[in-house]
Amino acid sequence: MLHEPAVALTDFGLAVEGIVLAWLLARSTSRSSLRCWFIHFFISVAIAAALGGTVHGFIPDESTTSYAVLWRATLLAIGYTALAAAMAGVQLLRSSTVKKVAQAAAIAGVALYATVVIFFSQDFRNAIFAYVPCTVFLLVAFVLVWSRSRSRAALTGIAGMLLTFVAAGVQQSSLALPALHLDHNAIYHIIQAVAFVLIFVAARAMAQHESRMPALVH
């Protein structure tokens, strides 16, 4: 029997969604670097969700070695999701100067986060703190693309990114829907599922035209 059924099942649902979205992107005719990083993004989402669902559903005892290993792995997968989001933002900006600075900052930040997760603290808030700067960067990149092109795809990406911030806020709140047996973690997963579809739609459309996109930052 699942220990936290709503949380575990919505986590597993996110894992399936991540795999499907990554697969759909991989099938596209585009071979752009933007497409590649969004594939990494969705695969890491799937890994993090599968690990998180396993922990929430089958390992309730936080004192066990299994919990310690799998929960750290979950948090590290979220860190890679953050890195992939930042790298996708770099590709959208198409600036060699920004690319160098942003890549260095993202790698350093995720490395610091990984060190904290492995050796010091496994609080989920650490994942939020690591994820937010990278996703803000991707949001800014979508906004810049939209401001130059009025692209519907960029606007969809903006909506998806904003929804991820709503999800993060819900996760840190005490919001619950007892009638549906959903706590804040399960609601967080459901909102994220919608956000990921929007991000996928934006990524697929923009990857097809990446080669024709001008540099947005010089």
pLDDT tens readout for residues 55-83: 999 998 888 999 999 999 999 999 999 99
| pLDDT value for 30 | 66
Indicate yes or no: pTM above 0.75.
Answer: yes
| pLDDT value for 213 | 52
The CA-based diameter of the chain, rounded to the nearest angstrom, is 55
| pLDDT value for 218 | 43
Give the end-to-end CA distance of the chain in Å, rounded to a whole number: 55
Q: For the chain, which ranges sit under pLDDT 70?
A: 29-30, 95, 210-218
Two tokens, residue 133: 């700067």
Domains of the chain: 5-212 (1.20.1070)
| pLDDT value for 202 | 95
The DSSP annotation for 158-204 comes to: HHHHHHHHHHHHHHTS---BGGGTB-HHHHHHHHHHHHHHHHHHHHH
Residue 186 contacts by C-beta under 8 Å, 6 or more apart in sequence?
6, 7, 10
Q: Contact 184/175 with Cβ under 8 angstroms?
A: yes
